Amino acid sequence: MPSVAQGGLQNKGSHNSSGKFSNKDGTRKAEFFARRQRIAQQRKSLPIAAVEKRLVEEVQKNDTLIIVGETGSGKTTQIPQFLFNAGFCRDGKVVGITQPRRVAAVTVAKRVAEECGVELGQKVGYSIRFEDATSSSTRIKYMTDGLLLREALLDPSLSRYSVIIVDEAHERTVHTDVLLGLLKNVQLARMNSTKYGHNIEDKKVNSVTSLEKENGDTSFLKKCQGRKYSPLKIIIMSASLDARVFSEYFGGAKAVHVQGRQFPVDLFYTLHPETDYLDAALITTFQIHLKESPGDILVFLTGQEEIESAEKFINERLNQLPEGSQKLLTVPIFASLPSEQQMRVFAPAPAGFRKVILATNIAETSVTIPGIKYVIDPGFVKARSYDPVKGMESLIVVPTSKSQAMQRSGRAGREGPGKCFRLYPENEFEKLEDSTKPEIKRCNLSNVILQLKALGVDDILGFDFIEKPPRAAIIKSLEQLFLLGALTDDCRLSDPVGHQMARLPLDPFYSKALILASQFNCLEEMLITVAMLSTESIFYTPRDKGAEAKAAMKCFSSPEGDHLTLINVYRTSDELLEKRKMTFVKEKNDKVLRKWCKDNFINTRSLRHARDIHNQICGHVEQMGLHVTSCGDDMLQYRRCLAASFFLNAAVKQPEGTYRALGSGQVVQIHPTSVLFQKKAECIIFNEMVETSHKYVRNVTRIDYLWLTELAPQYYTSQK
């Protein structure tokens, strides 16, 4: 199956020894030119192509512009090229486009590089956490919003950029919201510094004073003072029709609408609520496949695990399809999918196949996949939720909003009439929220606060957020950062810990764990831990092979807990690849790793992702001058370091067998996938809480209760 799946993309990676296969070369060339022509035609037919001139004029006239356009109209791929052609990249300046999602940044950059006929990483590139495909010649740069925030730490005026496009602003991720506030400041600071005409000079005086009043904090502006910058254009792009909130935030900025093309989509609902939406989605997939006319199917699921089990289920039943019927080709798309696999989703299904795209909400508006005629929408999405009183963040599966449901169904009608199957009764639709609550109102803010502090924004409560996060959440996060030693008594970034933590592109808890580990002499182990914890589940348990998977996991499991178990997996994979170093053929190594993973019920994609992350963070800690040493067999030392790092997530066993989380007071249970499930650890630390029928904690390690008062006296002496 994989070889068929990759068929559409293969010419890209394969190379020829020159001259030998001239016939093949000829065909390749013809294919290449045909594809270029097709792309040029596709570009011309996009709704946005007709308004290029007007859009460019609007950008020239307005410092801040809001562009609203239906998904698929060509905003993300075309507008940066329009700006490049209009001269916005003169003098080596860069047009930056931010995306809330890594996958969108990568896939769009690849597409635009191809449209421009350039090699990725040259004129067109992307940069996301742990992966950089840019060079000094990059002029159109796609990146995640989080990454641009990090760049601002090194270059507070974002001086390389002439234009910054905040794409997918309607998603209102926490990074987008913070970025908008930051860009507003940068734009003012750059205007303030320029001598580019009276208009701007005049504006500058008023704006800076008003900003001072609003924020009571001009430290950021001061950072940029005394230097000359060219003005910064800001473009906010959104798929939601309501541009008011952005326009008001940017002092009445102009909004323009780009017409999309939308064909009718028939909506179908179930008669009764579904008890198992994954099951229902799979049944619907096969029903469409057997009864409906050709056209690809897009299924919205909530995460990697669900997508992978759906993929497996469908592939295992392919041979049950009636003889002679069209075949099915499954293609997944989710956030942590390795970049080399992401583009598969855009390749047309080979002849005789119908494509089934298994996607997270990434395919709602971030990436537009051609060829879709049927959408299956179970009506759920995985979202962050935060309880500021308890200081606990968790990922939960919740119903989508009405606007998400409508975006999803819209995907079926881009190229012709389509059908959308909502797997819930019609009256349930009316009960959905109109739109999703901005993430900043429902997440832990420690990370964002740490970054804002590092940018010189000291007054977080006074920061000009587009929508203020709950005061309680800000205070709780400040408190957590203080307990982690990142902030001083007067709430400034501490030296060196706070500054070191802000430099690492990780959750503050993980950053702190790495810094502590260098003192506990177990940084080698902690680097592996953090890398493994930064991916979705390493182990997978097929629905029908629970016992085998459990037995396989036993080979790695440590009686001390999941963290050491993960280290065992990583090190075994290391040994395996080390042994193969001599052969050095990447494809062969990949194959060996894949087989080993399959035999051991380990998720290859997650493990590879973890290995990449590991390489990246090793680079960061080395740059910071931390010593990478191993604690060898002294696992006590490592567990003590875990306790010192994650003390806010400690829990003690209660008489009836459940655990009480010491930080939040919540009653939790150890997740059944943990190696400590049903073991009798008296005191544990954990990394994650998930809420399904119960509150479960995952990634758990046994610790000694007394370590908490010894290693985290700032928290536990007063709590005892």
Residue 108 interaction partner, one of ligand CDP, Mg ion, none, beta carbon < 5-8 Å per kind: ligand CDP
Q: How far is 243 from 224, CA to CA, in rounded Å?
A: 30
Chain position whose Cβ is nearest to Mg ion:
76
Q: Mask of contacts with Mg ion, 60-89, x by CB under 5 A?
A: ---------------xx-------------
103-111, 189-197, 642-650, 700-708 -> range binding ligand CDP (CB under 6 A): 103-111
**In terms of CB distance, is 77 or 573 closer to ligand CDP?**
77
Pairing outcome for strands 650-653 and 659-661: antiparallel
Residue with token string 């000079």: 201
Q: Give the residue, chosen from 55, 59, 63, 72, that forms a contact with ligand CDP under the rule CB under 6 A.
A: 72
Q: How far is 668 from 662, CA to CA, in rounded Å?
A: 11
In the complex, minimum distance from the CB of residue 418 to Mg ion, in angstroms, rounded to a whole number:
19
In the complex, minimum distance from the CB of residue 480 to ligand CDP, in angstroms, rounded to a whole number:
37
**In terms of CB distance, is 76 or 529 closer to Mg ion?**
76
Residue with token string 């002499």: 521
66-74, 356-364, 600-608, 618-626 -> range binding ligand CDP (CB under 6 A): 66-74
72-80, 194-202, 488-496, 647-655 -> range binding ligand CDP (CB under 6 A): 72-80
Q: Which of residues 558-617 bind Mg ion (CB under 5 A)?
A: none
Is 71 among the residues that bind ligand CDP (CB under 6 A)?
yes
**In terms of CB distance, is 76 or 480 closer to Mg ion?**
76
Cis-peptide, bond into residue 47, ω within 30° of zero: no
Contact residues for 52 (Cβ-Cβ < 8 A; gap 6+): 78, 82
Q: Give the residue, chosen from 98, 107, 436, 529, that forms a contact with ligand CDP under the rule CB under 6 A.
A: 107
Give the torsion sign (CA, 617, 618, 619, 623): positive
**In terms of CB distance, is 71 or 645 closer to ligand CDP?**
71
Residue 674 interaction partner, one of ligand CDP, Mg ion, none, beta carbon < 5-8 Å per kind: none
Q: Which of residues 324-363 bind ligand CDP (CB under 6 A)?
A: 346
Number of residues that bind Mg ion (CB under 5 A): 2
Query: Helices (DSSP H) in 468-522: which residue ranges?
Result: 471-483, 497-503, 508-519
Contact residues for 133 (Cβ-Cβ < 8 A; gap 6+): 106, 109, 120, 121, 125, 126, 127
Residue 104: φ, ψ to 5°: -65, -45
Contact residues for 470 (Cβ-Cβ < 8 A; gap 6+): 388, 441
Q: Give the residue, chosen from 64, 66, 74, 99, that forms a contact with ligand CDP under the rule CB under 6 A.
A: 74
In the complex, minimum distance from the CB of residue 370 to ligand CDP, in angstroms, rounded to a whole number:
4
Q: Which two tokens stand for residue 460?
A: 């977080």
Total number of residues shown for the chain: 720
**In terms of CB distance, is 76 or 284 closer to Mg ion?**
76
Q: Which of residues 654-713 bind ligand CDP (CB under 6 A)?
A: none
In the complex, minimum distance from the CB of residue 529 to ligand CDP, in angstroms, rounded to a whole number:
35
105-113, 318-326, 455-463, 699-707 -> range binding ligand CDP (CB under 6 A): 105-113
Name 659's bridge partners.
653, 668
Residue 269 buriedness (CB in 10 A; 0-12 / 13-18 / 19+) = middle
Name 421's bridge partners.
268, 376
Is 295 among the residues that bind ligand CDP (CB under 6 A)?
no
**In terms of CB distance, is 358 or 670 closer to ligand CDP?**
358
Q: How far is 475 from 4, CA to CA, in rounded Å?
A: 53
Residue 666: φ, ψ to 5°: -75, 150
Nearest to 310 by CA among 271, 275, 360: 360
Nearest to 599 by CA among 553, 665, 558: 553
**Gyration radius of the chain over CA positions:** 26
Q: Which of residues 84-143 bind Mg ion (CB under 5 A)?
A: none
Residue 77 interaction partner, one of ligand CDP, Mg ion, none, beta carbon < 5-8 Å per kind: ligand CDP
Residue with token string 């096969």: 286
What is the 3 state secondary structure string of 186-217?
A: HHHHHHHHCCCCHHHHHHHHHHHHHHHHHHCC
Is 370 among the residues that bind ligand CDP (CB under 6 A)?
yes
In the complex, minimum distance from the CB of residue 710 to ligand CDP, in angstroms, rounded to a whole number:
53
With both helix axes pointing from N to C terminus, report the angle between 604-623 and 562-579 in degrees, rounded to the nearest 10.
Answer: 90
Residue 215 interaction partner, one of Mg ion, ligand CDP, none, beta carbon < 5-8 Å per kind: none
**In terms of CB distance, is 75 or 640 closer to Mg ion?**
75
**In terms of CB distance, is 107 or 207 closer to Mg ion?**
107
Q: Give the residue, chosen from 77, 444, 565, 603, that forms a contact with ligand CDP under the rule CB under 6 A.
A: 77
104-112, 347-355, 457-465, 513-521 -> range binding ligand CDP (CB under 6 A): 104-112
Q: Which two tokens stand for residue 149?
A: 């925030």
Number of residues that bind ligand CDP (CB under 6 A): 16
**In terms of CB distance, is 108 or 538 closer to Mg ion?**
108
Q: Give the residue, chosen from 46, 283, 395, 690, that forms a contact with ligand CDP under the rule CB under 6 A.
A: 46
Residue 80 interaction partner, one of ligand CDP, Mg ion, none, beta carbon < 5-8 Å per kind: none
Nearest to 541 by CA among 309, 700, 696: 309
In the complex, minimum distance from the CB of residue 181 to ligand CDP, in angstroms, rounded to a whole number:
24
Residue 699: φ, ψ to 5°: 55, 80
Residue 384: φ, ψ to 5°: -80, 145
**In terms of CB distance, is 239 or 681 closer to ligand CDP?**
239
Residue 278 and residue 495 in contact, taking contact as beta carbons nearer than 8 Å: no
Residue with token string 């995306």: 99
Burial readout 411-438 (b: 16 or more C-beta within 10 A, e: otherwise): bbbbeeebbbbbbbeeebbeebeeebeb
CA 222 to chain centre: 32
Q: Give the residue, chosen from 64, 75, 363, 440, that forms a contact with ligand CDP under the rule CB under 6 A.
A: 75
In the complex, minimum distance from the CB of residue 645 to ligand CDP, in angstroms, rounded to a whole number:
40
> How many C-alpha atoms does 9 have within 13 Å on its Cβ side?
16
In the complex, minimum distance from the CB of residue 76 to Mg ion, in angstroms, rounded to a whole number:
3
**In terms of CB distance, is 102 or 512 closer to ligand CDP?**
102
75-83, 141-149, 200-208, 436-444 -> range binding ligand CDP (CB under 6 A): 75-83
Is 368 among the residues that bind ligand CDP (CB under 6 A)?
yes
In the complex, minimum distance from the CB of residue 246 to ligand CDP, in angstroms, rounded to a whole number:
16
Residues near Mg ion (CB under 5 A) are 75-76
Residues near ligand CDP (CB under 6 A) are 46, 69, 71-78, 107-108, 111, 346, 368, 370
